[in-house]
Amino acid sequence: MADSTFDIVSKVDKMEADNAVNQARKEIEQRYDFKGVGASVEWSGEKILLKASSEERVKAVLDVVQSKFIKRGISLKSLDAGEPYASGKEFRLEVGLKNGIDQEHAKKIGKLIRDEAPKTVKSQIQGDELRVSSKSRDDLQETIRLLKAADLDVDLQFVNFR
């Protein structure tokens, strides 16, 4: 019998992220506390650009964006928010989206699987994802439970369970 496998990935649904940004933009345009402070949210290439007249207002815009991402089912672990910086008369903040598992986190996950998962489970790094295999589907499900319970800095999804 062939091994059962699944892949561990970390991807953000671009359409859901776009919907969250649009909802945040609408809320910021409507809210009274953002009137007259030049607050805005927009895509700038692959990053989300937040603008406002003061550092506190930019952080408040970030809170609105984060709340919209949570409502759309996107983990905040997928957001990579920088520090606010001055640009002319306004403050800006760039928020990146993390896609893929970098080598450092992939090695941590692989070590966690080797140390704590059932012994029949094997993992291998394939680019920006991990392939986990075992003869027993129950062991694979146990591994998924283990990884969901672990406190990692990456938002994980489990796909291609065969």
Residue at 67: amino acid letter: S
Do 114 and 107 form a contact (C-beta atoms < 8 A)?
A: no
The string of pLDDT tens digits covering residues 150-160 is 888 888 888 88
- Distances in Å between the Cα of 9 and the Cα atoms of 57, 68, 96, 102 are 34, 23, 17, 10
Can you tell me which residue has the tokens 């609105």? 64
Tokens of 129: 């994802």
| Distance (Å, whole) CA 49 – CA 39 | 11
- Phi and psi based region of residue 136 (left: phi greater than 0; alpha: psi -120 to 50; beta: remaining): beta
H-type helices in 88-159, by residue range? 103-116, 137-149
pLDDT digit string (tens) for 76-115? 888 888 899 898 889 999 999 988 888 888 999 999 999 9
What is the percent of the chain where pLDDT is above 90? 36
Provide the percentage of residues in the chain whose pLDDT is more than 70.
99
